[in-house]
Amino acid sequence: MPKPTFFRLAEPKRKRLIKAAYDEFSRASFQDASISNIIKDAGIPRGSFYQYFEDKSDIFFYLLDRTRTQTEDLYKQVMQAHDGDLFGMAADFFDKAVEKLLKGPHREFYANVFLYMDFHNAAHFSSMPKKTAPAQPHKKVFLDYTLDHLDRSKLKVKSDEDVAMLFRQVMWVFMQSIGYYYSRRKNGENVTTTALKARMAKMLDWLQYGVAIAEEEVHD
């Protein structure tokens, strides 16, 4: 994470450095990205960069952490707006997250993160000790918040263990769908965000209501 000197920078200079980092990691994968390009675009000397960050991994993880924090805030807002309705929240959250990931100003950065699994590469090349290197973003904050704010009266599952299992299935719909989108686009297929949202809505519907025909309907 950034050194204290980074947060003491004047805001315009800090914003230029952040933008330069986003631009570089959007242009290239983590492995191919260059500190030289970042400092050139930010207009700072190389020595100044190392006053703010340990290395390329450090600034990359800072960008990921910004994304994680923003996504956590969005998740909590949407959960509150739906009064703890898991499936109503999920549909709304997925829709808003897709807009941010695939249409927002940092869409190329997110594409590289998903396509190249750059957080694994960044952890591997980090110069920081492994015990202090940033961990891969995970769902624990989302799960803990869900367990505390979920309206379980709308679900057949009640225990924390069962709710956690259901939560992971719901989030899998999102992660699998985003992976599907990027892999298809990489292969030259024109997958629209509208089609992607419809795909996620269908999978959530299957998860919420099931896909098997009731016994009595089979014999009608």
Residue 28 lies in a domain: no
Residue 25 lies in a domain: no
pLDDT of residue 130: 46
Q: Which domain holds residue 125?
A: 63-218
- Calpha distance 220→217 (Å, rounded): 5
Residue 21 lies in a domain: no
pLDDT of residue 116: 78
C-beta separation of 1 from 58 below 8 A: yes
Instruction: Please work out, in degrees rounded to the nearest 5, the angle formed at the alpha carbon of residue 139 by the alpha carbons of 167 and 141.
Output: 100
Q: What is the dihedral of CA 119, 125, 128, 130, to 10 degrees?
A: 70
Residue 11 lies in a domain: no
pLDDT of residue 152: 95
Residue 162 lies in a domain: yes
Q: What is the pTM of this model?
A: 0.82
> And the tokens for 183?
């892999």
Number of domains in the chain: 1
Tens digit of each residue's pLDDT, the chain (220 residues): 899 999 999 999 999 999 999 999 999 989 899 999 999 999 999 999 999 999 999 999 999 999 889 999 999 999 999 999 999 999 999 999 999 999 999 999 999 888 876 555 556 555 554 444 444 445 688 999 999 999 999 999 999 999 999 999 999 999 999 989 988 988 999 999 999 999 999 999 999 999 998 776 666 6
Residue 17 lies in a domain: no
